[in-house]
C-alpha cells in the first residue's frame, strides 16, 4: 500500500532502507555474533579450499578445479551480504545506496546461477569417474574443464545482465523500504509500482533454465551413478565410489541451495512475501556458504591432507 506522501517521479530513489532479518531489538546482539562467526567461518573455509586446490599439485584434477569454482561464489555471497548486515545492525541508518543495491543483486544473481552450472559440471565429473573410469582422463581433460567453467561464468553473466537491464528501468514511486537484509531481484520487482509482467516472465524463464536444467542433470547423473555402484560386487568398491560423490550429493539432497532458491525465484509474483523471502534467502546466501567448506572436506582425505600441508606452510612462513 502506497503512502500519501510518496513521490511518483520517474527518478530512482537515492537509497533503500533494509529492515534486516528481524525487527526485535533483543535479537540484535545474538544475530550480530552469529553472523560475524558465520562470516569468519565462510571466509576462512572457502579461502582455504581455493588456496589448497590451486597450490597443491595433488589437487589439480577436474574435481578440485570445480570445487574451487564452487568456493569462490560462496566467498562472494557472504562478502556481498554479511558486512552490510553487520554495519546496518550497528547503525541507526540501515540504508544501501541505489548503485550499491544494483551491484548487489546483479553480482548475487550472477554468482547464484554460476554455482548451479558448476554443481552440474561436478556431477558430470563424478558420473564419468564412476561410470566411465577407463575413459576418464580422455573425457574429462583439462581443456574441457576450463570450457565448462568458462561457459558457466559467461552464460550467467549474460543472464545477470538481462535481469539488471530490466530491473533498473522499473519505477519505485518513492517506495524505499526493503523488508530484507540485502537487495535481491524478486524483492526489487515486488517493490516497483509499475507493471512487472515482462520482468516476472523473464526472471521465471531464465531462472528455470539456469536452476532446473542443472538440477535435472545432477539427479540424472546420480541416478546412473547409483545404478553403477549397486552393480559393484565388492562392498569396499561400493563404499569408495559413494565416498567420491557423497559430499556433493549431500549439499544438493539437504536442499540447502537449490530448493530455497527455486522457491524464492520461481514462485508467482503475487504470492511473493518479503517476510518469508528474507528467511529463505538466509539458506543460500549465508548458511550454505558457511557449511559448504565443512561438507566438502569432512569426507575428503585428499582435501584434508592438502589443508594440513597448507597450514604447515603458513606456519613456517609466519615463524620466519
Measure the CA–CA gap between 320 and 312, rounded to whole angstroms: 13
What is the pLDDT, as a whole number, of residue 294?
Answer: 81
- What percent of the chain shows pLDDT beyond 70? 85
Phi, psi at 274, each rounded to 5°: -65, -30
Place of cell 539437504: 254
pLDDT given at position 180: 81
pLDDT tens per residue, the chain (320 residues)?
A: 344 444 444 566 788 888 877 777 777 788 889 889 999 999 998 998 898 888 888 888 888 888 889 889 888 888 888 888 888 887 777 888 888 899 999 998 898 888 889 988 988 988 898 888 888 888 888 889 999 999 999 998 998 999 999 999 888 877 688 888 888 888 888 888 888 889 888 988 888 888 888 888 888 888 888 888 877 777 776 666 666 666 555 555 545 677 777 777 777 655 666 666 677 778 778 888 888 888 777 667 778 888 888 888 778 777 66
Q: What are phi and psi of 291, to 5 degrees?
A: -85, -25
Are the beta carbons of 13 and 176 closer than 8 angstroms?
Answer: yes
Q: How many CB atoms lie within 10 A of CB 16?
A: 24
User: What is the distance, to the nearest Å, from the Cα of residue 40 to the centroid of all Cα atoms in its chain?
Assistant: 17
- pTM of the entire structure? 0.84
Inter-residue contact 262 to 277 (CB < 8 Å): no
Q: Which residues contact 21 (CB under 8 A, 6 or more apart)?
A: 31, 85, 181, 278, 279, 282
User: Of 32, 115, 42, 31, nearest to 78 (Cα)?
Assistant: 42
Quote the pLDDT of residue 53. Answer: 87
DSSP structure class, residue 3: -
Q: Check the CA dihedral 280-189-72-91 and report its sign.
A: negative
Q: Degrees (nearest 5) of the Cα angle 129, 133, 139? A: 75
Q: Which residues are registered as beta bridge partners of 95? A: 17
CA-closest candidate to residue 306, choices 59, 114, 30, 61: 59
pLDDT digits (tens, 9 = 90+) for 155-207: 989 989 999 999 998 888 776 888 888 888 888 888 888 888 898 889 888 88
Q: Which domains does the chain have, with CATH numbers?
A: 15-319 (1.20.1070.10)
What residues pair up with 18 in beta bridges, in sequence order?
Answer: 178
Across the chain, the runs of DSSP E, i.e. the strands, are 15-18, 95-97, 177-178
Cα torsion through 271, 272, 274, 279, rounded to 10: 100
Q: Which residues are 177's β-sheet partners?
A: 17
Amino acid at each position: 500500500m502506497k503512502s500519501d506522501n510518496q513521490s511518483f517521479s520517474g527518478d530512482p530513489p537515492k537509497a533503500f532502507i533494509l529492515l534486516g532479518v528481524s525487527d526485535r531489538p533483543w535479537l540484535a546482539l545474538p544475530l550480530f555474533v552469529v553472523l560475524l562467526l558465520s562470516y569468519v567461518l565462510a571466509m576462512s573455509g572457502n579461502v582455504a579450499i581455493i588456496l589448497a586446490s590451486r597450490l597443491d599439485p595433488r589437487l589439480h584434477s577436474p574435481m578440485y578445479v570445480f570445487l574451487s569454482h564452487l568456493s569462490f561464489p560462496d566467498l562472494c555471497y557472504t562478502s556481498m551480504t554479511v558486512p552490510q548486515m553487520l554495519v546496518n545492525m550497528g547503525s541507526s541508518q540501515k540504508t544501501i545506496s541505489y548503485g550499491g543495491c544494483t551491484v548487489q543483486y546483479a553480482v548475487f544473481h550472477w554468482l547464484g546461477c554460476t554455482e548451479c552450472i558448476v554443481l552440474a559440471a561436478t556431477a558430470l565429473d563424478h558420473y564419468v569417474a564412476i561410470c566411465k573410469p577407463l575413459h576418464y582422463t580422455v573425457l574429462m581433460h583439462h581443456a574441457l574443464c576450463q570450457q565448462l567453467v568458462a561457459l558457466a561464468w559467461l552464460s550467467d553473466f549474460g543472464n545477470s545482465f538481462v535481469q539488471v537491464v530490466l530491473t533498473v528501468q522499473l519505477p519505485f514511486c518513492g517506495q524505499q523500504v526493503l523488508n530484507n537484509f540485502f537487495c535481491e531481484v524478486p524483492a526489487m520487482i515486488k517493490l516497483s509500482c509499475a507493471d512487472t509482467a515482462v520482468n516476472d516472465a523473464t526472471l521465471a524463464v531464465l531462472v528455470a533454465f539456469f536452476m532446473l536444467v542443472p538440477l535435472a542433470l545432477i539427479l540424472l547423473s546420480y541416478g546412473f551413478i547409483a545404478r553403477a555402484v549397486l552393480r559393484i560386487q565388492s562392498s569396499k568398491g561400493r563404499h569408495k565410489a559413494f565416498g567420491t560423490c557423497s559430499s556433493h550429493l549431500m549439499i544438493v539432497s539437504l536442499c540447502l541451495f537449490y530448493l530455497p532458491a527455486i522457491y524464492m525465484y520461481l514462485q508467482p509474483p503475487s504470492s511473493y512475501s518479503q517476510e518469508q523471502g528474507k528467511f529463505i534467502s538466509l539458506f543460500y546466501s549465508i548458511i550454505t556458504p558457511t557449511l559448504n567448506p565443512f561438507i566438502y572436506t569432512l569426507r575428503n582425505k585428499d582435501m584434508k591432507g592438502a589443508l594440513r600441508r597448507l597450514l604447515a606452510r603458513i606456519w613456517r612462513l609466519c615463524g620466519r
